[in-house]
């Protein structure tokens, strides 16, 4: 950082640093894209080499312990690094323009570790025999992923995944302050991205114990995440967010309170 301040804005060294920051942001973004696409295959058990119901065999207790540890690692990394106080501390060591990209990269790597090391728990909890019904349920899961992707673009996809920050830095533009947005799906629920994940994880024609563990723990984590995120959003947007909470339900579009 000291080096950045010592160089004038147009100095070639400064330009190199900005370009390096941009390339880092691009790598982080591409890692995120790979991770989210892998996640679709991991949960659905399609295309990817290592899915939720495949991998090294282990006892139920071993699998439970390893899988819970992997999910806890992701939960801690993902929620601690998202807090304002952590960001203030963290940006004393890393340049501010790459803070979001670093977060995105570490979250993606933690998830890839989870996919790689996840232990299958193959006991079947439910299985839908009828092919048409199974296809409808798989389709519903896919709809969940579409809601996730669409909603990221509704609030600001490229800012959410750090690319906007490094592109602005490269162009010498200041980041504008966060904007409160409630387009389309955000008029029906306050957390369409999280709702999309819940649908994608639970809509399974064959639900194994491992898949159920994944869906249940991630859903619980989403509820904790919502509590923390809404605290931050209320601090950031004040009465606008308070009024929004009164008007729009959290996750279920047809019930105001949930
Ligand atoms: C992973 S996104 C999840 C957004 C939302 N909870 C959802 O499920 O669609 C988290 C980021 O979105 C931001 N965010 C959440 N709701 C927002 C809104 N209505 N307008 C702008 N930013 C929002 C939060 O500040 C946070 O940085």
Residue 102 near residue 248, CB atoms below 8 Å:
no
Task: Give long-range contacts, CB 8 A cutoff, 24+ apart: 43-52.
Answer: 43/141, 43/200, 43/201, 43/204, 43/211, 43/214, 44/138, 44/141, 44/142, 48/115, 50/115, 50/116, 50/118, 52/118, 52/120, 52/208, 52/210, 52/211, 52/214
Pocket flag, ligand 1, residue 231 (CB < 6 Å): no
Is there an atom of ligand 1 within 6 Å of 181 CB?
A: yes
Tokens of 169: 């830095």
Q: Are 194 and 207 in contact (CB under 8 A)?
A: no
ipTM over 0.95: yes
Tokens of 178: 């966060």
Per-residue pLDDT 10s for the chain (258 aa) are: 444 444 445 555 688 899 999 999 999 999 999 999 999 999 999 899 999 999 888 999 999 999 999 999 999 998 888 888 898 899 999 999 999 999 999 999 999 999 999 999 999 999 999 999 999 999 999 999 999 999 999 999 999 999 999 999 999 888 888 889 999 999 999 999 999 999 999 999 999 999 999 999 999 999 999 998 999 999 999 999 999 999 999 998 875 654
The sign one gets for the Cα dihedral 237, 240, 246, 248 is negative
Mutation test residue for ligand 1: of 233, 240, 249, the one with most atoms within 8 Å of CB:
233
Question: How far is residue 67's CA from residue 211's CA, in Å, rounded to a whole number?
Answer: 11
Q: How far is the CA of 7 from the centre of ligand 1 (A)?
A: 35
- DSSP assigned state of 248: S
Protein residue whose Cα sits closest to atom 6 of ligand 1: 191
Residue 218 C-alpha from the chain's centroid: 11
Model-level pTM?
A: 0.90
230 lines ligand 1 (CB under 6 A): no
Distance (angstroms) between ligand 1 centre and the Cα of 120 equals: 32
Ligand 1 centre to CA of 74 (Å) is 19
């Amino acid at each position: 950082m000291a080096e950045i301040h010592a160089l004038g804005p147009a100095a070639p060294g400064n330009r190199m640093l900005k370009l390096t920051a941009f390339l880092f942001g691009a790598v982080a973004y591409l890692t995120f894209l790979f991770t989210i696409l892998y996640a679709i295959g991991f949960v659905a058990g399609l295309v990817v080499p290592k899915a939720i119901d495949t991998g090294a065999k282990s006892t139920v207790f071993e699998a439970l312990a390893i899988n819970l540890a992997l999910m806890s690692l992701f939960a801690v990394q993902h929620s601690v690094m998202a807090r304002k106080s952590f960001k203030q501390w963290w940006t004393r060591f890393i340049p501010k323009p790459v803070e979001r990209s670093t977060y995105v990269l570490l979250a993606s790597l933690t998830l890839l570790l989870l996919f790689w090391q996840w232990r299958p728990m193959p006991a079947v909890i439910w299985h839908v025999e009828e092919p048409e019904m199974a296809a409808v349920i798989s389709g519903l899961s896919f709809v969940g992923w579409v809601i996730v992707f669409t909603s990221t673009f509704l609030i600001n996809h490229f800012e959410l995944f750090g690319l906007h920050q490094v592109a602005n830095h490269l162009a010498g533009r200041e980041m504008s302050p966060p904007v409160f947005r409630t387009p389309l799906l955000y008029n029906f629920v306050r957390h369409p991205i999280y709702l999309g994940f819940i649908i994608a994880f639970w809509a399974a024609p064959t639900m194994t114990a491992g898949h159920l563990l994944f869906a249940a723990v991630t859903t619980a984590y989403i509820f904790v995440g919502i509590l923390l995120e809404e605290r931050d959003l209320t601090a950031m947007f004040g009465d606008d967010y308070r009024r929004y909470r009164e008007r729009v339900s959290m996750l279920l579009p047809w019930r105001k309170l949930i």
